[in-house]
Homo-oligomer: A and B are copies of this chain.
Amino acid sequence: MPRTTIKDVASEAAVSIATVSAVVNDADWVSAPTRDRVQATIDRLGYRPNRVARTMRTRRGDAVGVIVSDLTNPYFAEVVRGLQHRLREHGRSLLLADTNQQFEEGGRQFDLLLDKQVDGFVFFGDSVPESVLAAHVRRRSRVPIVTVGRDYGLRGVATVLANAETAAFDAVSHLAERGYRRIAHVTGPVAEFGATTHGASPRLAGYRRALAEAGLDAPDEYVVHGDWRAEGGAVAAVDLLSLPQRPDAVFCGNDLMAFGLMRAARVAGLDVPTDLAVVGFDDVPTAALVHPALTTCAMPKAALGHAAADLLQQLLDGGSDIPDSPVFLDAPLVVRASTPARA
């Protein structure tokens, strides 16, 4: 048996489908008696409007396309969750795609979602190639984009960011204050830097600035590339620990890599934090639970999601223009056991 449609309601209630539509979208011109009658039959028949038809006719639905590079990373999961909840409050739903850290996949998913008439987009981190974004804004599409966690520096896309440079600065300064002298850094994959000229790793920049201000020096080998995952952190650990001048502290670009690095260091016979202090980035839930508990920059995950949702909603309401500078949120350092004061 097919779903009951607006026609069914109309004929049952002995009105035109236009009237039913008016009742559903509560237009102001329907008289009270008819409105009640129609509403009653709607309830009786259990009629629910077909959103697909509605979307097709109005060319605007309630869906937002979300593309994320690695849903498995609790950081992303938490931001997506915050996003979803706030979108829900705006009456919107969420089409999710995970690119598994593959750029071209991001482009494909983007096209697919466009075909599905999503009203807007939210992109996380390194999920979609800059070229795709650029092409989209060049096309002057009516479909707004909000990127979170990364600044593509494109006029035409809105951005929500944590103040990563400052956070990184604080983290590394903290290490310096606690007496660490040889501070290394695990950053993102190399590919990332090729992909954009803009804001090439704020974390790296903050790291450098903090070192400079503390009067510390670090050889080039102290900056190694990871893949944002625990595995990459472990590999980085091997690289760093085989250096002639072994670092006494590492600032990792995210918590997952910090976890991997801590474990690898322990496997290599070092004690964390005595032989090697570690700082992470993100403050995923488990950061407080590992041993030693991880000092890290607390990304405002839910808040990022909320901000992205609100920003997108504003753009969709048409009220506001795309802000030409990103929205910034703070990522305060939370100090835990992995960075004790140096003896």
Residues of A within 8 A of B (CB): 1, 48-53, 55-56, 61, 63, 71-72, 74, 77-78, 80-81, 84-85, 88, 93-98, 100, 111-117, 140, 230, 256, 259-260, 262-263, 266, 285-286, 288-292
A96 CB contacts on chain B under 8 angstroms: 84, 94-96
A74 CB contacts on chain B under 8 angstroms: 72, 74, 77
CB-CB nearest in chain B for A289: B259
With known contacts A49-B115, A117-B52, A81–B72 Cβ distance under 8 A = yes
Report Cα–Cα, A2/B303, bound state, in Å: 35
Is the contact region of chain A dominated by helix, strand, or loop, or is it mixed?
helix
- Of the residues B95, B230, B292, contact of A95 by C-beta under 8 Å: B95
CB-CB nearest in chain B for A288: B263
With known contacts A52-B56, A56-B56, A85–B97 Cβ distance under 8 A = no
A259 CB contacts on chain B under 8 angstroms: 286, 289
Interchain residue pairs with CB less than 8 A apart (16):
A51-B115, A51-B116, A53-B56, A72-B285, A81-B100, A88-B97, A93-B112, A94-B96, A95-B96, A96-B96, A230-B285, A230-B286, A259-B286, A259-B289, A260-B289, A286-B286
Query: Given known contacts A85-B98, A88-B97, what 6 new A-B pairs fall within 8 Å (CB)?
Result: A49-B115, A52-B61, A53-B56, A80-B98, A259-B286, A290-B291
- Of the residues B55, B230, B288, contact of A52 by C-beta under 8 Å: B55
CB-CB nearest in chain B for A290: B290
Report Cα–Cα, A237/B257, bound state, in Å: 29
Cβ contact within 8 Å between A115 and B50: yes
Report Cα–Cα, A320/B276, bound state, in Å: 57
- Of the residues B63, B117, B289, contact of A263 by C-beta under 8 Å: B289
CB-CB nearest in chain B for A112: B93
Report Cα–Cα, A289/B289, bound state, in Å: 10
A51 CB contacts on chain B under 8 angstroms: 115-117
With known contacts A72-B285, A93-B112, A117–B290 Cβ distance under 8 A = no
Cβ contact within 8 Å between B117 and A98: no
- Of the residues B61, B80, B111, B286, contact of A48 by C-beta under 8 Å: B111
Q: How far is the CB of A2 from chain B (nearest CB, A)?
A: 9
A117 CB contacts on chain B under 8 angstroms: 50-52
Cβ contact within 8 Å between B71 and A80: yes
Report Cα–Cα, A71/B52, bound state, in Å: 27
